[in-house]
Copies of this chain bind each other. A is one copy, B any other.
């Protein structure tokens, strides 16, 4: 017969933290309960279920908690509930300044609402990304995927487990925050057309990038509208060096104005063209995307279609936090505005020769 070894112990107040040894470990609800003269479960309720206990007891407990400098142990809470007060953010590439804004926006929002941000990167690899996402899923309450590279299906599968918000891409059935490229692109093309350009090149990003395809579509549409020719060029990498490599192709294309998938490509392209004594913007106008940090360091400073990435980060985090509180936003897709930032790298085409 199995007998409890020590009935008194079972009936006692429960574990008591050993405050003796240098205050190492912090106070627990059991300590608070003892000081306040109530049951631990009452403490738990007072601290997490507002209105569940009487105002008097509430005050008593809060006082005791303050006195002991009590803070909940996030792990102890996470174990039975699954709630971790942590949000995950996976970016395609930490080196890429496009994501700095996202990280910053998300971090600020999350911290302001007493959550913590976990960061991971996928090195632009769908497989790494999926692994990172799965790993994170066990630890976070929700996940932000910035410019994810994995399939729609994988994203939806993740979203079935816990709330997921996608930035910079539209996935059916998953809340998304996307800069609406079209407005900015239309402005850019209109500006180029007004400056005498007739043939526009678009330098594409990675083939997996949903946003790159989207921008190309936007460029095509806007060009049709303005009766301009649009040609598409591929890049090896969406980086400065990728931009340098594509310079030759740009010249060969006969275009007098170029939009690039992102600012890094634009900067690399501009550097290489200038090295070949091609004057920007007199002979070729260059327009980037994103308005990343440093886009205005160049000479001439880069004209670019600004995507408010920090805002995307903020919005994505808010969406997630709201969802966790049961506030469902009806709109599956949140579009944030883009706009043309007109600087020196685009302008009137000088007659050649």
Contacts and interface: CB of A to CB of B under 8 A. Distances in A.
A7 B1 contact: yes
A103 B104 CA distance: 12
A299 B300 CA distance: 9
Given A95-B100, A100-B100, A120 B117 contact: yes
A120 B104 contact: no
Nearest to A71: B138
A8 B131 CA distance: 41
List the number of copies, as a whole number: 2
Interface in A83-110: 84, 86, 94-95, 97, 100, 103-104, 107-108
A297 B94 CA distance: 19
A118 B110 CA distance: 12
Majority DSSP secondary structure for residues of A touching B: mixed
Nearest to A2: B7
A2 B297 CA distance: 76
A161 B7 CA distance: 36
A131 to B, nearest CB: 10
Contacts of A136: 116
A3 to B, nearest CB: 8
B74 A139 contact: yes
